[in-house]
């Protein structure tokens, strides 16, 4: 059975850093990504990676501050988050899919992690 296990969330001051991890078991995927959902708002795209090519994509709101990466041997994806802002506060979800469609669309992803809370306090 496919499973995505997230870790690394927590509480930091604005300007601080966190690194999220997402370990995939059961299979490999064409595309993996991160989405986030602030309280009372919709789930929005953050970043994604095409596994084979290592092509990377970012939402404008996080470009230059966040970095997505992979470890092929561990089948694990990371999200390094620097210069965190209060507006980054959300539940962050790891996602994976087998399609090469648009990475910012929820419909691309078939599997989801359990979510991890990220809070940046001013």
The 10s digit of each residue's pLDDT in 31-84 is: 999 999 999 999 999 999 999 999 999 999 999 999 999 999 999 999 999 999
Over residues 9-32, mean pLDDT: 95
Distance CA 89, CA 77 (A): 20
- Can you tell me which residue has the tokens 């999200």? 79
1 has pLDDT over 90: no
pLDDT of residue 27: 84
Contacts of residue 22, defined as CB under 8 A and 6 or more positions apart, other chains included, come to 4, 5, 6, 32, 34, 76, 77, 78, 79, 94, 113
Distance CA 65, CA 82 (A): 5
Q: Which of these, 89, 121, 76, lies nearest to 68 by C-alpha position? A: 76
117 has pLDDT over 90: yes
Buried b (16+ CB within 10 A) or exposed e, 18-48: bebbbbbeeeebebbbbbbeeeeeebebbbb
101 has pLDDT over 90: yes
Binned at pLDDT 50, 70 and 90, residue 28 comes out as confident
């Amino acid at each position: 059975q496919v499973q995505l296990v997230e870790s690394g969330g927590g509480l930091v001051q604005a300007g601080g850093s966190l690194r999220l991890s997402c370990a995939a078991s059961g299979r490999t995927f064409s595309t993996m990504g991160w989405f986030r959902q602030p309280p009372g708002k919709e789930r929005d795209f953050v970043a994604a990676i095409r596994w084979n090519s290592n092509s990377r994509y970012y939402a404008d709101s996080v470009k230059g501050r966040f970095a997505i990466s992979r470890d092929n041997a561990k089948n694990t994806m990371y999200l390094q988050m620097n210069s965190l802002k209060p507006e980054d506060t959300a539940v962050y979800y790891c996602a994976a899919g087998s399609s090469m469609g648009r990475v910012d669309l929820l419909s691309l992803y078939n599997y989801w992690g359990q979510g991890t809370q990220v809070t940046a306090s001013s």
